Amino acid sequence: MVSSISFCDSKGKQLLSRKYRDDIPLTAIDNFATLLMKLEEESSVVPPCLTHNGIHYLFIQHNDLYIVALTTSLSTNASQVFTFLHKLVEVMSEYLKDVEEESIRDNFVIIYELLDEMMDYGIPQITETKMLKQYITQKSFKLVKAAKKKRNAARPPQALTNSVSWRPEGIKYKKNEAFLDIVESINMLMTQQGQVLRSEIIGEVKVRSRLSGMPDLKLGINDKGIFSKYLESTSSNSNSNDDNSNEVNSSKSSTPQPSTGQDEGSSRKTSNVELEDLKFHQCVRLSKFENEKIITFIPPDGNFELMSYRLTTPIKPLIWCDVNIHVHSKSRVEIHCRAKAQIKKKSIANNVEILIPVPDDADTPSFRYSHGSIKWVPEKNAILWKIRSFAGGKEYSMAAQLGLPSIDDNEKPKLKRPVQIKFQIPYFTTSGIQVRYLKVNEPKLQYKSYPWVRYITQSGDDYTIRLNG
Amino acid sequence: MDQRIFARYKASELKNDLQGFDVKKSKNSALKRKNALKKIIANLTLGNYNEMVHMFPDIINYWKIEDDMEVREICHEYIRCLGPLKPKSAKEALPLILKDLNSKNEKLQLQALNTLISVPTSEFYNEVFQFTSDAINRKSQSSNVTKTAIFSLIQLDDIEHNQIFPFLERLLDILDNPNSRPAVQAACLKTLYTIHEKNNDMQFLCLKSNIVFNILSILSKLNEWDTVYALEHLPISAVPQTHSEALKMIEMTLPQLQHVNSSVALNAMKFIAYLLNYVDHINESIVHKCSNSVISLLDKPPELQFLVLRNVILLLLSREDSLLHIDVAYFFIDYHDPIYIKDTKLECLYLLANKDNLPIILNELSQYATDIDTQMSRKTIRAIGNLAVKLGDDSVDDSVDILLNLLEFGVDYVVEEIISVFRNILRKYPERFTDVIPNLIHYSNSVQEAESKNAMIWIITRYYNLLPNYLDNFSVFSSKIKDESLDVQFSILNSSVKFFVRSPSKETEKICIGILTICTEEINNADLRSRAFMYWRLLSMVQNDNSVSNETVKEIVDGELPLIELDTKLDSQILEELELDIGSISSIYLKPVSQIFRLNKSKYLPKSPALNASRRQLEVIEDSSSTYNHERFTPNRSFSDINRDSSSSPVRQSSVQNYNSPAETVNHLRGKMKLSSRSPSKLSRNPSKLIRRLSVRTGLGKNK
């Protein structure tokens, strides 16, 4: 259980804090700044958990802030604390947009209110922004008014205590739509020679729901585990399902979906992919998924991440760069780079950015290149090659030369930083995941709804090529 | 707003602001009043208690007439702040608080409940007891209020422990009743567990199996944080009586590994790890799911990633790889990782290393060794050296090759670290790398740190016969003995005596006498002085009365050292306790709670017919159920000096490196964690034994 939560500036000095329990002195947080400083002097390793005088400081960093949770017990559930702190930042950013020192100072009233509402006696309570927004607004509301209003609208507990804590009742839309975004991020670590050290696909299914009432959604995708079960169940009662199943509409920007009628049969099985490690939003009925492999859920209103998955199958680099860097000590550095889009001819990679590190003290860059644009980014000590659109199978190359100062300390300039690549490939998933259907069923309202789906593959946070320094 | 809210005010000023409220109820004055009330709270947070005490009557006044929620909140906050200081005046507010408590507005009820608990008088507490006992069974009460009422018992337990007992029964009843509301049940579980845990006169909570299954079945109906503490408190309190019961529980918990809230996933992992003590075998799919869950947790923000990595270390220590099959590539260090993550990943790599993956790991490590961060680079070199000692004959050559390559890199700290690490390797393989010695000695001049100096002195002394002018090498250090740190001075003293005893000659005698003189006369340290005197008397016994032979002295001063082994494991009991604390702060430090707070009860696995004797005897069965995998996980791997890698300051001594220094018995909980190690005693010489040997042999040899 957390004893208090504080927001501190970049030096570790307290901006505001909320105390939840009486077991710590008020001054405990004041030590945080000195503790941080001492540790930073002592070594470069500052773990997100410090201990001083029997008080544990668990903290996360966000922009120029430290968000610190204090606790006295060693058996405090640290995973809960860290998760909560991140959630807190997430919620606050919905209220304040940017969570940083200035916005904290400007909005302390609402922050106190949020802190009160999200945690009680050191135990996390509600952390869904949608629910919090119902009764934490900038204005305070009056008791008298509350009594006059419709009974269920004024009282938050209704929604909080029923089993669907993430969706209030009585939502209405004129046009009922659900948007599915399937985003796959590729993380890859490669050596300069082209050996793939690690590769993974991290997929997210994001949903933007604009649906009235309490709809029950059923999502079908071509995962092996999920899909084989689906085949069994539909073969027996496919007819009865038909009436309220909405075939997925392809939005203008997406590839045409194979209609469900056509690929019924053996061809389906072969195109199935096996997703590892699915993670679901709390609205998905996990036990239903575990037993019957069906993804069913009552969605929260608005945007949310329905599920995420991970695949570790070895994949070929989608965008590969053959980089050669020659450092001529005391005179110049030469960089040759050949980029290749190893994707289907039909696909196009957009906004490709290749960030190649150069020595800190390099200057006077000169470039030769055929496509895109190149500029030197001194603050990152790198050159950035941008290619707006990069068609599959194409190969572009560039050469750059930068000067180095003639005076040089003895150390050989090292380039330990990796080459980073960013890209986006629309209408394409690397894993081959496809949405088969999304059924919307609102038992009371029985409206017609329109599901849309879109696919995109992009580089993850970590799509890098290591340089042999 | 004409005045700033956060400024110190006198009570009279604020009273002024509050005046004239009842004359006209215009909006303007209402705003003004509210502002004044806000100032009161602001002043309380500023600590201006003396002045604000006088506002008590005004607060009561407003409480009676104002309907505004914000005003009520302010009133409650006021009582919460000042009630503990002025319990008598707080009593005046009691009826008002009770009125709010019995109102229909949930927010007000919560406020009132919190206020009641914060004032330490029995009247207030009795009201809480009264309310709680009513609320527990009343279904009409919103479950949020019921939850808070149940949690308030934890607080009341500190004060009125005896009054709690009747409630415990009732909470158990709620858990037992499948018709209770899930959120309330979760709160009951947490309250029961916490009260049982913190009172020393009570046993740990123990739940009947049907209750456990009931809780597991409601997990999906709870909100994410309720799920967290339901799962958090199931270990220990749920005691499966048979293997199949435990398996069933695991099965019911598995879906939670896929929860998007990392805390739920990690706590599910904790419960599963706990239950594994009560099964005789598990399916490979469970291992697969756990590993996958961990891997995806590694994609979370760095703080969580750090926590998960620490727990991976814990699981690797206690179960080797029986629960987690994770490809080493996931622990490869990324350039952008924060340093504490890099550090922890390095430890994981070290622990995961075995004969098969060693080439990959060494290849990675050699990359890190030239990292820009000095400490990172040092730790990597440590890890390479320790791997050489840990993995034995097959791997040592590869590790040494890498170290020698790095030596050519020539940067000071790299060289220093390599020298220190080489001493351990040489202690393990005394004859294998003799041809490397001259190469190492070459760097005598560039070592600066105490530890690497010690190492260098030891290497010179041990392999003097390979060095044509070892005395010159030695004099690099001995000539500056006065400037050295204490442990280097000890090394110099020992070595100088060793040289003399091995080959008594004019030169060695001169050096030896010189050092002894400096140690006894010039350096002002009692320990060093008495050691020097001890040597001196020993040597003079040989020369003067011949009561001790030269051979005996040699044996005392320059005995054969035992080969080192990295053989220390964490105590299995400690591991057991740590495993019950997965995801907690103690898992970050890898220190069980009871080791730091002696008054705390230490957790242990509850006895049950299904409990396994040894954690390592868990069979993993392939899914196809063809049980060919009879691999028993024998405890032959050792992790003695991981603390090497983890110690945040390079100066910190560890078990194997210096047999001269006193064994470290106390582990500090500072910055980073160290694993408890028992090996030092093995390596440090036992002085009493030496003395005994001395007295037995005195009459024998009469050389010289």
- Could you please report the per-residue DSSP string of B158-216? HH-HHHHHHHHHHHHHHHH-TTS-HHHHHHHHHHHHHHHHH-TTSPPP-B-HHHHHHHH
Residues B477, B678: contact at Cβ < 8 Å?
Answer: no
pLDDT at A386: 92
Residues B276, B243: contact at Cβ < 8 Å?
Answer: no
List the one residue out of B601, B605, B602, B604 whose CA is nearest residue B200: B601
Which stretch of DSSP H or E encloses residue A19?
strand A14-19
pLDDT at A408: 58
Please check whether residue A163 touches B, CB under 8 A: yes
Q: For residues B193 and A389, what is the distance between their CA atoms, to the nearest angstrom?
A: 59
Between positions 546 and 565 of B, the ones with CB within 8 A of A are none
Nearest Cα residue in chain B from A87: B261
Please check whether residue B11 touches A, CB under 8 A: no
Residues B405, B419: contact at Cβ < 8 Å?
Answer: no
Tell me which residue in A156, A279, A416 faces B259 most closely, judged by beta carbons: A279
> What is the 3-state composition of chain A as percent helix, strand, coil, each rounded to the nearest 5?
25, 40, 35
pLDDT greater at residue B560 or residue B687: B560
- Average confidence (pLDDT) per 10 residues, chain A, 469 residues: 88 85 83 86 80 88 90 86 91 84 80 85 82 64 38 40 69 87 90 85 90 88 54 37 40 38 37 68 81 84 87 84 84 88 88 89 85 87 90 89 73 70 89 84 83 89 82
Residues of A in contact with B587 (CB under 8 A): 78
Please check whether residue B521 touches A, CB under 8 A: no
Give B2 to chain A, closest Cα distance, Å: 17
User: Could you report the per-residue pLDDT of B389-400, keeping only the tens digit for each?
Assistant: 888 777 788 888
**% of residues, chain B, pLDDT over 70:** 82
Report CB contact under 8 Å: A416, B144. no
Please check whether residue A464 touches B, CB under 8 A: yes
Q: In what order do the strands lie in the sheet with A65-71?
A: A14-19, A4-8, A65-71, A55-62, A49-52
Mutation test of the interface with chain A: which of B213, B295, B335, choosing the one with the most A Cβ atoms within 10 A? Answer: B335
Phi, psi of B638 (to 5 degrees): -135, 155
Structure token pair of residue A272: 């199935």
Tell me which residue in B67, B260, B301 faces A142 most closely, judged by beta carbons: B67
Q: For residues B286 and B270, what is the distance between their CA atoms, to the nearest angstrom?
A: 13
| ipTM rounded to 2 decimals | 0.73
Please check whether residue A157 touches B, CB under 8 A: yes
Residue B61: strand, helix, or coil: helix
Rg of chain A taking only CA atoms, in angstroms: 27
pLDDT at A273: 60
pLDDT at B598: 63
Between positions 128 and 167 of B, the ones with CB within 8 A of A are 142-144, 148, 151-152, 154-155
Distance of CA B682 to the CA centre of its chain: 25
Count how many Cα atoms sit within 13 Å of the Cα of residue B83 in the half-sphere of its side chain.
28
Nearest Cα residue in chain A from B269: A79
Largest Cα span, chain A: 81
Structure token pair of residue B488: 């280097």
Q: For residues A274 and B288, what is the distance between their CA atoms, to the nearest angstrom?
A: 14
Tell me which residue in A77, A121, A281 faces B583 most closely, judged by beta carbons: A77
Amino acid, res. B690: L
Q: Tell me which of 2.60.40.1170, 3.40.630.30, 3.40.50.300, 3.40.30.10 is the CATH number of domain A319-406+414-427.
A: 2.60.40.1170
pLDDT at B364: 87
Tell me which residue in B68, B329, B332 faces A142 most closely, judged by beta carbons: B68
A319-406+414-427: same fold as A4-135? no
For the domain made up of A177-315+436-457, give the CATH fold: Immunoglobulin-like (2.60.40)
pLDDT band at B268 (very low <50, low <70, confident <90, very high): very high
Nearest Cα residue in chain B from A125: B225
pLDDT at B284: 83
pLDDT greater at residue A143 or residue B163: B163
pLDDT of B12 > 70? The answer is yes
| Domain coordinates in residue numbering, chain A | 4-135, 177-315+436-457, 319-406+414-427
pLDDT at B703: 39
User: Could you report the per-residue pLDDT of B302-350, keeping only the tens digit for each?
Assistant: 899 999 999 988 888 887 767 788 888 889 888 888 888 988 899 888 8
Q: For residues B388 and B403, what is the distance between their CA atoms, to the nearest angstrom?
A: 10
List the one residue out of B422, B424, B508, B433 whose CA is nearest residue B466: B433
Is B634 exposed, middle or buried (CB count within 10 Å of its CB: 0-12, 13-18, 19+)?
Answer: exposed
Could you tell me which residues come within 8 angstroms of residue B267 by beta carbon, excluding any fewer than 6 positions away? A77, A79, A80, B227, B228, B231, B232, B256, B582, B583
Number of A–B residue contacts, CB under 8 Å? 226
Distance of CA B315 to the CA centre of its chain: 13
What's the average model confidence in pLDDT over B168-182?
A: 85
- CA quadruple B294, B300, B301, B302: dihedral positive or negative? positive
Is A210 exposed, middle or buried (CB count within 10 Å of its CB: 0-12, 13-18, 19+)?
Answer: middle
Give B238 to chain A, closest Cα distance, Å: 18
Report CB contact under 8 Å: B255, A290. yes
pLDDT of B599 > 90? The answer is no
Residues of B in contact with A156 (CB under 8 A): 106-107
Amino acid, res. B11: A
Amino acid, res. B92: E
Which stretch of DSSP H or E encloses residue B458?
helix B450-462
pLDDT at A116: 84
Please check whether residue A294 touches B, CB under 8 A: no
Report CB contact under 8 Å: B263, A82. yes
pLDDT of B25 > 60? The answer is no
Q: For residues A128 and A27, what is the distance between their CA atoms, to the nearest angstrom?
A: 31
Place of tokens 């869904």: A128
Q: For residues B605 and B647, what is the distance between their CA atoms, to the nearest angstrom?
A: 30
pLDDT at A415: 59
Nearest Cα residue in chain A from B603: A75
pLDDT at B567: 53
Give A347 to chain B, closest Cα distance, Å: 28
Please check whether residue B470 touches A, CB under 8 A: no
Report CB contact under 8 Å: B303, A82. yes
What separation in angstroms does the CA of B675 have from each of A188, A339, B668, B679? 34, 48, 10, 11
What's the average model confidence in pLDDT over B277-294?
A: 85
Distance of CA A69 to the CA centre of its chain: 24
Residues of A in contact with B259 (CB under 8 A): 279-280, 282, 286
Report CB contact under 8 Å: B296, A277. yes
Place of tokens 């009371």: A444
pLDDT at A224: 62
DSSP state of A223: B
User: Is the domain defined by A4-135 classed in CATH 3.40.50.720?
Assistant: no
Instruction: Give start and end residues of each alpha helix (H) in A264-365.
Output: 266-270, 286-292
Is B404 exposed, middle or buried (CB count within 10 Å of its CB: 0-12, 13-18, 19+)?
Answer: middle
What's the average model confidence in pLDDT over B493-500?
A: 88
The span from the first CA to the last CA of chain B, in angstroms, equals 100
Phi, psi of B175 (to 5 degrees): -60, -35
What's the average model confidence in pLDDT over B217-237?
A: 86
Q: For residues B450 and B487, what is the distance between their CA atoms, to the nearest angstrom?
A: 7
Residues B95, B65: contact at Cβ < 8 Å?
Answer: no
DSSP state of A142: B
Please check whether residue A272 touches B, CB under 8 A: no
pLDDT greater at residue B493 or residue A27: B493
Report CB contact under 8 Å: A42, B648. yes
DSSP for B224-282 reads HHHHHHHHHH-TTTB--SSHHHHHHHHHHHGGGGGBSSHHHHHHHHHHHHHHGGG-SEE
Question: Which range (A260-274, B164-178, B304-318, B520-534) has the least confidence?
Answer: A260-274
